[in-house]
Amino acid sequence: MSNLSKNGKRIYIQEVSVRDGFQMEPIFIPTDRKVEFINGLSRTGLAKIEVTSFTSPKAIPALADAEAVMCRIDRVPGVEYAALVPNMRGCERALSCGVDEINLVMSASDSHNMANLRMTPQQSLEQFEQIVAAVGGRVRLNASLSTTFGCPFDGEVPLSRVLDTVARFVDMGVDGVTLCDTTGMANPAQVARVCDAARQRWPDMVFTAHFHNTRGMGLANVLAAAQSGIDRFDASLGGLGGCPFAPGASGNVCTEDMVHMLEAMGYDTGVDLEALLVRARQLPDIVQHDIPGQVVKAGPWTRRYPVPAAKAAQGA
Ligand code: COA
Ligand code: ZN
């Protein structure tokens, strides 16, 4: 790796395959397999794992075992264990399982919030306010803003609307905010604009970026956000993922591909890529289909092949 510049900048990797990924799978992955898989992920150097979601089991049947999974996984020191929560009921369930962080979710756009959560954004904000009061600082609270970079129903979401919603989160006193590109509509120039605006207005807020690779712009968007100073990224092993209530949604940015790119560029992700690849290779058997990740197939850029014998003899 001597030809690489080591900028040494720390980037925190937050794994969402077992929530954003598994929620989209048509088969129900048995609880034991989820627990075993998460226990493996916990030992790869990831900063955070979004373990499950405490949503209605009718809305997301794939994660109907949220309590069992959350309560049975190993809690490896240094890893934060989070869960997605849409409402007060979900908050109570998450607290009963001792989560480290509740990740509140709502959309920047009206139509996606209605399709996904059956609430207006205003109603979601009211739920959040009640949750913040009920939690009373017992666990960390993060707010995820879906469709920040565009809505599959309403189209472009004005930056002013995104910032106004983030301002509500900040006023409530959340510990972190995630800017989510739910259906891969973001492009790198837009990502730079949105992230710069958010970071300039709230320089001390902990921002995460959450991209989907639906249109092949995922890693380019990660890079644009990193260059805007974002240092936390959600990603999904194998590139699984997608919202069942957003037409055309597909996988998140692939964790191992993202770690591979960032490490090659000299960022410090804290993640052991080889250990992550061991887990990625288990996924096709768990989800019963091929996965879109690329490094798991090609191997890291450091991979070398033997020089073909005939060419070596010719000195070619
Ligand atoms: N956990 C478990 N059950 C819940 C729940 C929660 N957090 N919130 C509501 N419910 C139950 C209610 O008890 C009720 O059950 P019943 O039919 O047996 O009486 C049922 O779900 C409907 O409750 P209601 O408050 O009317 O909710 P809703 O039908 O309007 O749905 C949400 C609202 C938010 C619960 C639902 O849309 C949801 O869970 N969405 C999650 C979407 C998601 O995760 N998307 C992908 C990630 S972005
Ligand atoms: Zn997502």
CA-91 nearest atom, ligand 1 = 7
The alpha carbon of 55 is separated from its chain's Cα centroid by a whole number of angstroms, namely 17
How does pLDDT run across 85-105, given as a tens digit for each residue? 999 999 999 999 999 999 999
The pTM assigned to this predicted structure is 0.96
Secondary structure class of 230 (helix, strand, coil):
coil
CA of 312 from ligand 2 middle (Å) equals 48
Burial class (CB in 10 A: 0-12, 13-18, 19+), 183: buried
Angle in degrees, 0-180, between the axes of helices 121-135 and 110-117, rounded to the nearest 10? 60
Distance CA 216, CA 276 (A): 22
CA of 173 from ligand 2 middle (Å) equals 23
> Pocket of ligand 1, candidates 51, 55, 84, 107: which has the most ligand atoms within 8 Å of its Cβ, to mutate?
55
CA of 79 from ligand 1 middle (Å) equals 28
User: Tell me, what's the pLDDT at 127?
Assistant: 97
Give 98's DSSP letter: T
User: Tell me, what's the pLDDT at 258?
Assistant: 98
Q: What are residue 236's DSSP bridge partners? A: 254
The alpha carbon of 295 is separated from its chain's Cα centroid by a whole number of angstroms, namely 18
Nearest CA owner, ligand 1 atom 13: 56
Res. 57: pLDDT tops 90: yes
User: Which ligand approaches the C-alpha of residue 148 most closely?
Assistant: 2
Nearest CA owner, ligand 1 atom 41: 55
User: Which ligand approaches the C-alpha of residue 56 most closely?
Assistant: 1
User: Tell me, what's the pLDDT at 6?
Assistant: 73
Contact 263, 269 (CB under 8 A): yes
Nearest CA owner, ligand 1 atom 7: 90
CA of 85 from ligand 1 middle (Å) equals 10
Average model confidence (pLDDT) across the chain: 96
CA-85 nearest atom, ligand 1 = 7
Per-residue confidence band for 2, with pLDDT thresholds at 50, 70 and 90: very low
How does pLDDT run across 203-251, given as a tens digit for each residue? 999 999 999 999 999 999 999 999 999 999 999 999 999 999 999 999 9
Per-residue confidence band for 8, with pLDDT thresholds at 50, 70 and 90: confident
How does pLDDT run across 303-314, given as a tens digit for each residue? 999 999 976 556
Nearest CA owner, ligand 1 atom 43: 116
Q: Report, as residue numbers or ranges, the catalytic residues.
A: 243
Question: What fold is seen in the domain 8-315?
Answer: TIM Barrel (3.20.20)
Distance CA 205, CA 137 (A): 16
Spell out the domain ranges in the chain: 8-315
Which residue spans within the chain are E strands per DSSP?
Answer: 12-15, 48-53, 80-85, 101-107, 140-146, 176-181, 206-211, 232-235
User: Tell me, what's the pLDDT at 1?
Assistant: 44
pLDDT exceeding 90 applies to what percent of the chain?
95
User: Tell me, what's the pLDDT at 132?
Assistant: 98
